[in-house]
Amino acid sequence: MAAQSPPAPAESLLAPGISLGLARHRAATVHDVRYDLSLDLTARDSATGRVILRFRRTGTDGAVLDFRGRRLLHALANGRSLPAGAARNGHVLVPAVLLGEGENALELEFVADIAPSGASIIRTHDPTDGADYLYTLLVPADANQLFPCFDQPDLKARVRLTLTAPAAWSVVANGAAVSSDTAGDNVTSRFAETEPISTYLIGFAAGPWHRVSPTGGGRPITAYVRRSRAGEADLDTLIALHRRALDWMEGYFGRPYPFGKFDFVLAPAFPFGGMEHPGAVFYSEERFVFREPPTLPRRLARFSTVLHEVAHQWFGDLVTMRWFDDLWLKEGFATFMAAKALADLDPTAEAWKTFYLGNKPGAYAVDQTAGTRPLWQELANLDQAKSNYGAIVYNKAPSVLKQLEYLVGDSVFRSGIRAFLAQHAFGNATWRDLLAAIGRAAGRPLTGFGRDFMRRPGMPVAEQRLAVKDGRIARLSLAQRPALALSGPGPWTERVEVLLAYRDRPAVRLPVELGGALTEVTEARGRPAPEFVFANAGDYGYLLLLLDSASVRALEAGALTRTDDALLRAMLWGALWDQVRASRMTPERFVRLALAQLPAERDEQIVPVMLARLDRVVRAYLGPDPRARVQGEVEAMLWQGAADTARAYDLRKAYLDGFIGLATSSAGVAALDSLLSADSAAGAPLRAPTRWDIVTRLLELGAPTAQDRFTEQQRRDSTADGRRLAFIAAAGRPSGETKRDYFTRYFADSSLNEEWASGSLGPFNALEHQALSLPWLRPALDSLPFIQAHRRIFFLETWLAAFLRGQTGDSALRVTRRYLADHPRLPEDLRRKVLQHMDELERTVRIRRP
């Protein structure tokens, strides 16, 4: 006879997903969690597993586990079977009566899916040698799709993995491999128990990997890549970069690398740039293996990703956000620390220019939209955590940290960070804990900073106002307003550096504390009239800066090209671009500026960014008539840039890419086609990725030679990557049938992996295909809830961006607005994502209006 049970957890805690209520309840009642997890990976479509979950509890409640895997086979709590119906709504309920004082042991057997997409274990098939590779990706809340667990970041657990795989495979996991047993064709490998880690950070990979572990001196690191790419991957270089990254972080944080060992895997078709699993970082093979000579931005992007994931070992893995509402904390820090490290490790890289180009435009583009959110993003249920990813956490957060460091000073900032890590090591923390630690180090509270930058959505716009009299500054002021009404009234308090640039004397930099609707730069008064003013020199401020008209004119007249400081020049180009997006400069005027001054720009990082903006202006912002007036001139400038032997390869390649993207005139298309017959372009042999880019454009443009070129390129490049690129290129065929076929496959083809699908969205939505793709806009919007539920974090953003940036007309805007109007109860996170991406379409329509 059963004893009378104490009350079970409230029914609301058992709702689908992992509610904040459930997480809080468990954090208060569950302690000292350990998982002993065994998985058999020898079947193709599923893994059978067993987990022994040990924990202590406070109080007398039952326990709620999370499990969304294929099937629960068997479950025991302290040796006794769970009652029928214990598994429901993605949870497993363990009645209180089966739990006791001291340590409890649950034993569960289960089946989890293995699939190219939509499963916690991703399988990718290599067509060149027929091999299969498996890896996990459990962030933000998919660990419970793999095995029954307490799937929340603040129930950290020690994890011991045991993996059974074919004998020819290697396996890598968070802990070091400690033993292996061969039985028949299979090997069972056991891994060391980890330090306490969050469930989303559990990771393993299995397959016939090529492995490299350099012998000799240096920190032991093993790198993994699939066999067919082993010849192309520069693993020794990558290992050396990781060693430098780990050494630098240990020095800055004043703490040794916190986990037992460090390895990394270049994972095929990986849907992220990287994932920071402690001890087993995974990277996108596509971004890490270069098939043609990498340009500087590509090399820097790769090193920055390494630094980002290594920084996560401390920020994210050692100290973890309590809940995904503070996702910004780990992402902001990883990117900010990566820039600091890069600035130190490679002074020639001009890391803060890279940081500006990589973060600010992206952050400002989203933070000015009605879909923006604060850095701290309220989150009621982990099943919506995917929506918290995006420019706010990845780009605004590091920008805000840059402002914070400038505000308190480098050494205070570092002391605060070290104290924060010491206090919360192997635990969890919130943004309040961080600001408290830095505030203590600074000797002043940071409550105002928290209010402005953690809790408040949106951003300030600052407008320069300059009055000159008799050759001297009569008045310089900065007028501040919120970019959006949703931020609420009132100014942000920030520290910026105001630059007065002169043609005939050194520039003057004035530190200014912004506050109030109007800030007077009193220090500027009476100084000689500058050639131009730039009120965010050094990029310390987080604000959209609108230049005064005299400064714009001076920059157009040549001051831009004469500016030596590349970070400043990058920001000036950016400010001029912002003039266009704010409808303060016509797109024609911007094209004229680019034609006149871009050829003189020799910065390898600025040029590709500006060429991408020029592409957007010409192909989207200009209507047909003004475009026809400049198309030939722009094509000529790009073609000459690619052919100019006086320029470095990186620049020529950027111009070549620009030409491939923009050429549409018949002469331009013929020139594109001729590149495929030539052996080289931009001064280097023409390699497969660029060939594919050209073929893709020829298909998009419906060029007469396109189909033959496509067939020829398929024959030339039959590698695994070649097949991917062929799939992507074919999405650019200008036919209704192609669009229908691809759109159907995005949902119906379970063998299609997300990386292929993401890649094809650009050609599917080529700007030249608006009439063909417009009918798919509404179905694309209608699919958002499905995508949110079944695709990985970044897919939804890529999807929305591709469909909305592929349109420039009123009709597309009407379709999007109608979709929002038809769904007044659309989940708020999805509505915001639509608003974020609709903003560019709205601007495009506004800018095009004659």
Nearer to Zn ion, 263 or 331 (CB): 331
Nearer to Zn ion, 206 or 401 (CB): 401
Measure the CA–CA gap between 24 and 636, rounded to whole angstroms. Answer: 62
Question: To the nearest whole angstrom, how small is the minimum distance from the Cβ of residue 212 to Zn ion?
Answer: 24
Question: To the nearest whole angstrom, how small is the minimum distance from the Cβ of residue 315 to Zn ion?
Answer: 9
Residue 497 backbone phi and psi in degrees, to 5: -120, 120
Binding residues among 42-81 for Zn ion as defined by CB under 5 A? none
Question: To the nearest whole angstrom, how small is the minimum distance from the Cβ of residue 675 to Zn ion?
Answer: 37
Question: To the nearest whole angstrom, how small is the minimum distance from the Cβ of residue 389 to Zn ion?
Answer: 10
Cβ 13 vs Cβ 137: under 8 Å: no
Question: To the nearest whole angstrom, how small is the minimum distance from the Cβ of residue 201 to Zn ion?
Answer: 11
Nearer to Zn ion, 358 or 722 (CB): 358
Strands (E), 237-279: 262-267, 274-275
Nearer to Zn ion, 63 or 334 (CB): 334
Cβ 793 vs Cβ 389: under 8 Å: yes
Measure the CA–CA gap between 540 and 543, rounded to whole angstroms. Answer: 9
Between the alpha carbon of residue 760 and those of residues 589, 620, 737, 741, the distances in Å are 33, 20, 15, 12
Nearer to Zn ion, 263 or 317 (CB): 317
Q: Give the chain's radius of gyration (CA, Å).
A: 28
Question: To the nearest whole angstrom, how small is the minimum distance from the Cβ of residue 274 to Zn ion?
Answer: 7
Instruction: Write the binding mask 320 to 349 for Zn ion: x where contact by CB under 5 A, - elsewhere.
Output: -----------x--x---------------
**Angle of CA points 394, 368, 534, to nearest 5°:** 90
155 touching Zn ion, by CB under 5 A: no
Question: To the nearest whole angstrom, how small is the minimum distance from the Cβ of residue 312 to Zn ion?
Answer: 6
Q: 220: which 2 tokens?
A: 């032991």
Question: To the nearest whole angstrom, how small is the minimum distance from the Cβ of residue 334 to Zn ion?
Answer: 5
Q: What DSSP string runs through 569-622?
A: HHHHHHHHHHHHHTTSS-HHHHHHHHHHHGGG---TTHHHHHHHHHHHIIIIIS
**Residue ranges in 385-477 assigned as alpha helix (H):** 391, 397-408, 410-424, 431-442, 447-450
Question: To the nearest whole angstrom, how small is the minimum distance from the Cβ of residue 331 to Zn ion?
Answer: 5
Q: How many CA atoms lie within 13 A of 766 on its CB side?
A: 27
User: How many chain residues are in contact with Zn ion, going by CB under 5 A?
Assistant: 2
Q: Is 32 left (phi over 0), alpha (psi -120 to 50) or beta?
A: left
Q: Which residues of 694-726 are buried (b: 16+ CB within 10 A; e: fewer)?
A: bbbbbbbbebebbeebbeebbeebebbbbebbb
Binding residues among 798-827 for Zn ion as defined by CB under 5 A? none
Instruction: Write the binding mask 507 to 546 for Zn ion: x where contact by CB under 5 A, - elsewhere.
Output: ----------------------------------------
User: Which residue is at the shortest CB distance from Zn ion?
Assistant: 334
Nearer to Zn ion, 269 or 334 (CB): 334
Residue from 342, 275, 280 nearest 307 by CA: 342
Neighbours of 396 (CB within 10 A): 28
Nearer to Zn ion, 328 or 764 (CB): 328
**Angle of CA points 174, 179, 182, to nearest 5°:** 120
Measure the CA–CA gap between 319 and 313, rounded to whole angstroms. Answer: 9
Paired sense of beta strands 494-501 and 508-514, if any: antiparallel
Q: 94: which 2 tokens?
A: 């363990």
Question: To the nearest whole angstrom, how small is the minimum distance from the Cβ of residue 197 to Zn ion?
Answer: 15
Question: To the nearest whole angstrom, how small is the minimum distance from the Cβ of residue 318 to Zn ion?
Answer: 14
Paired sense of beta strands 262-267 and 280-284, if any: parallel
Neighbours of 176 (CB within 10 A): 16
Nearer to Zn ion, 264 or 573 (CB): 264
Nearer to Zn ion, 387 or 664 (CB): 387
Cβ 517 vs Cβ 479: under 8 Å: yes
Question: To the nearest whole angstrom, how small is the minimum distance from the Cβ of residue 195 to Zn ion?
Answer: 19
Nearer to Zn ion, 246 or 334 (CB): 334
Question: To the nearest whole angstrom, how small is the minimum distance from the Cβ of residue 327 to Zn ion?
Answer: 9
Q: 442: which 2 tokens?
A: 């600074």
Nearer to Zn ion, 392 or 614 (CB): 392
CB-count exposure of residue 820 (10 Å: 0-12, 13-18, 19+): middle
Question: To the nearest whole angstrom, how small is the minimum distance from the Cβ of residue 747 to Zn ion?
Answer: 29
Nearer to Zn ion, 143 or 337 (CB): 337
Nearer to Zn ion, 312 or 833 (CB): 312
Measure the CA–CA gap between 656 and 317, rounded to whole angstroms. Answer: 41
Nearer to Zn ion, 98 or 281 (CB): 281
Q: 315: which 2 tokens?
A: 């920020």
Interface positions with Zn ion (CB under 5 A):
331, 334
